[in-house]
Chains A and B, each alone.
Chain A
Amino acid sequence: MAIDACIVGIGTSHAVGLELGQTPLALQFEAFTASLEDAGLDKDLVDGIITARGAPSGVDYDEFVVAAGLNVRWVSQMWSHGRWTASALSQAALAVSAGVADYVAVTNSHVSERGYGRHLTSLDNRLDESFRDGGGPYSGWAIHGSPGAGTGAALVTQQYMDRYGATPADLAAVAVGHRLHAARNPFALLRDDPLTEADYLASPEILGPLRSPDICRMIDGATSLIVTTSDRAAELDVPFVRIAGIEGIRASRDNYVFFSRPGLGSGISAPSDYIAPDTSPVYEMAGVSRADIDALYLYDPFAHMVWMVMERWGFCKEGEAASYVRERGIGLDSPLPINTNGGLLAEGHLFGYGHLIEMTRQLRGTAGDRQVTDATVLQWANAWGDSLILTNQRG
């Protein structure tokens, strides 16, 4: 089955932050209605919904269907994680391509424990996957003092620095680059919070080698994207943006850790040399090559993820991403602009959906000061193998 799917509507909550004072449901309504208005679509036409975040800090699909008076015939709900961004959009693409739904809303909200979540006692539940007997997916080992994501990311970053000699100044270039993007994004959480390499190096290490600018903050916010077939998209007054390629998450005992590309020997996996494939299913499906990618978007809750993804997908050789990013940057003037919205690190943690909305804007040519010149083929890619290719070119 060929993929036939377009993004026809994008929307966010009016802002992101910790003081929005709105429930996840209220935020999700803002994003959902914005995406309907963007598409020029009546809500009664939405017959599919995907939620990846869900309760308690988001909204389960059924709660939203009831609240919004929807009547859907296809539903998917995934686990509460930013890992599912590509999978969620892929499912929407597959659903409309197969005809099990005509218009799918990929709709998510989230409130932080330090945001509206402080009013929601259900968020006090400390059940944590890092209590798994073997530890969690991040190398999260709660009982050993590496609970959850932050220390897991710190361990991978340390492994990379130990093995390849990457420096704090190399890592600084990631956070500095994201802040420069955010300064051009009026929606970004840290738009007015510039960061220099000197600022970065003057801030203390707080989790292993990670400093505050390397760690994104959980915030309140919501996103929505509407996906439909190209024929239906043509009936709407929106620029053409197509989901041209999809590729799934890979997982094995040797590819276990959330915050690492294969080969570093993170978590329980064995270390090995890593050579990126020359091509990948996502490129084949889209009929493009790595050299065609005009900008790269990736899940960046922690700064080192830029290194992981560039090497996983072969934009740099093993061990070379750190110095590459320091020398060439990730800006609009670099060979490969990355996370032009400012990413999770500086736009805010929207689980990757903020990136997909940015990619859509770039392909529509409506990204303002941060427009990538002649953006035609953009890739979302992650260290654990999931990817999307979006394009404004017809197949």
Chain B
Amino acid sequence: MSTKEAADHLALIPLKGRGRGLPPLVHPEIAPFWNSVAAGRLSLQRCKACGTLRFPLAPRCHTCLSASYDWEVIDPRGSVNVAVLNPSAPEGMPRIGLEPPWQDVTPYITGAVDMDCGIRLPGRIICDCNQARIPGTRVRGVILETTDGTPVYGFAHTCVVEVDAPA
């Protein structure tokens, strides 16, 4: 499947039919992150005191410990840092190492992406040509489905979406 879609450069592109993974545990402090994903944007916290952009999501800045921050939309593009393929169970073998629902989503690629804003984010990486398993491959943020319908972000390679859509 190759659904190249033009989109504005900050948009997370929704993908269907790529398997339903675990939904996130959304709680009030981090709800803005997931609300932003649902609205098609990746947003991270930027410290209002010292300007540090941060991940993991946290109530305070790891540099200056300030509790004051803004949610800032980031560029959803980045380069693969590491990616692994979690394959389907070999014929006749139990699927060890993965709990539901992930064993039903196999085969899939997951890993981490060095975002252009300088932050590394974990995520599934959708790629039908296997090139995204190579570190440095360009990918962009997408929206993936979960078992309870809460959208989760992920990434996709140019074989699936247009990575560097014009602004």
Same complex for A and B? Answer: yes
Which A residues contact B (CB, under 8 angstroms)? 126, 131-135, 139, 141-148, 150-151, 154-155, 158-159, 162, 204-210, 212, 215, 253, 265-266, 268
Interface string of B32-46 (1 = CB under 8 A from A): 000000000000000
Q: How far is the CA of A268 from the CA of B120 in the complex (A)?
A: 6
Q: Report the minimal beta-carbon distance from A17 to chain B, rounded to whole angstroms.
A: 17
Pick the contact of A205 from B81, B87, B95 — CB < 8 Å?
B87
Q: Considering residues A143, A147, A155, A162, which has the most beta carbons from chain B within 10 angstroms of its beta carbon?
A: A143
Across-interface contacts of B25 in A (CB, < 8 A): 131
Q: How far is the CA of A210 from the CA of B81 in the complex (A)?
A: 18
B57 touches A (CB below 8 Å) = yes
Query: Do residues B112 and A215 form an inter-chain contact, with CB atoms below 8 A?
Result: no
A151 near B97 with CB under 8 A, answer yes
A139→B112 CA distance, assembly (Å): 9
A157 — nearest CB in chain B belongs to which residue? B84
Please report the C-alpha to C-alpha distance between residue A209 and residue B109 in the assembled complex, in whole angstroms.
12
Please determine whether B102 and A215 come into contact, CB atoms closer than 8 angstroms: no
- Bound CA span A142–B23, Å: 9
State the 3 A-B residue pairs at the shortest beta-carbon distance, nearest first: A134-B56, A208-B84, A150-B97
Q: Does B111 contact A (CB under 8 A)?
A: yes
The docked-state distance in angstroms from the alpha carbon of A317 to that of B11 is 44
| A-B interface contact total, Cβ < 8 Å | 99
Q: With both chains docked as a complex, state the minimum distance between the C-beta of A254 and any C-beta of chain B, in angstroms.
A: 11
Q: Is B30 an interface residue (CB 8 A)?
A: yes
Closest to B155 in A: A144
Chain B 73-93 per-residue mask, 1 if CB under 8 angstroms from chain A, else 0:
000000001111111011001
In the complex, A162→B80 CA distance in Å?
12
Partner of B110, one of A131, A148, A151, A268: A151
Knowing A145-B110, A204-B87, A208-B85 touch, does A134 contact B96 (C-beta < 8 A)?
Answer: no
- B98 contacts the other chain (CB 8 A): yes
Contact A143 B21 (CB under 8 A): yes
Q: Once the chains bind, are B82 and A143 in contact (CB under 8 Å)?
A: no
B109 to chain A, nearest CB (A): 9
In the complex, what distance in Å separates the CA atom of A155 from the CA atom of B83? Answer: 7
Q: Which residues on A sit within 8 Å (CB–CB) of B24?
A: 143
Distance in Å from the Cβ of B39 to the closest Cβ of chain A? 18
A313 to B97, CA, bound (A): 29
A251–B105 alpha-carbon span in the complex (Å) = 34
Q: Contact at B122–A209, with CB atoms within 8 Å?
A: no
Interface centre among B81, B99, B112 (most CB of A within 10 A): B112
Interface flag for B135 (CB, 8 Å): yes
**Is residue B123 within 8 Å, beta carbon to beta carbon, of the partner chain?**
yes
A207 & B110 in contact (Cβ 8 Å cutoff): no
- In the docked arrangement, what's the CA distance between A253 and B124, Å? 23
> B124 contacts A144, CB within 8 Å?
yes
A146–B97 CB distance below 8 A = no
Distance A30 CA – B84 CA, assembled complex (angstroms): 41
CA distance A158 to B81 in the complex (A): 10
Contact of B56 with A155 in the complex, beta carbons under 8 Å: no
Bound Cα distance A97, B146 (Å): 53
B58 is an interface residue with CB less than 8 A from chain A: yes
Q: Are B82 and A158 in contact (CB under 8 A)?
A: yes
Q: Output the least CB separation between A272 and chain B (Å).
A: 14
Give the shortest distance, in Å, between B112 (CB) and chain A (any CB).
7
A133 contacts B57, CB within 8 Å? yes
Please give me the residue from chain B that is nearest to A266 by CB atom.
B82
Instruction: Among A147, A204, A206, A266, find the residue whose CB has the most chain B CB atoms closer than 10 A.
Output: A206
Among A147, A158, A208, A265, chain B packs the most CB atoms within 10 A around the CB of: A208
A139 and B122 contact, CB distance less than 8 A: yes
**Do B21 and A144 have beta carbons less than 8 Å apart?**
yes
The residue that A147 contacts in the complex, of B87, B99, B108, B111, with Cβ under 8 A, is B99
Find B56's partner among A133, A144, A158 (CB 8 Å cutoff). A133
Q: Can you list 30 A-B pairs, Cβ within 8 angstroms, ordered by A? A: A133-B30, A133-B57, A134-B56, A135-B56, A139-B122, A143-B22, A143-B146, A143-B152, A144-B21, A144-B123, A144-B152, A145-B21, A145-B108, A145-B124, A146-B84, A147-B98, A147-B99, A155-B84, A155-B112, A158-B83, A159-B82, A204-B90, A206-B86, A206-B95, A206-B96, A207-B86, A210-B97, A212-B96, A215-B97, A268-B55
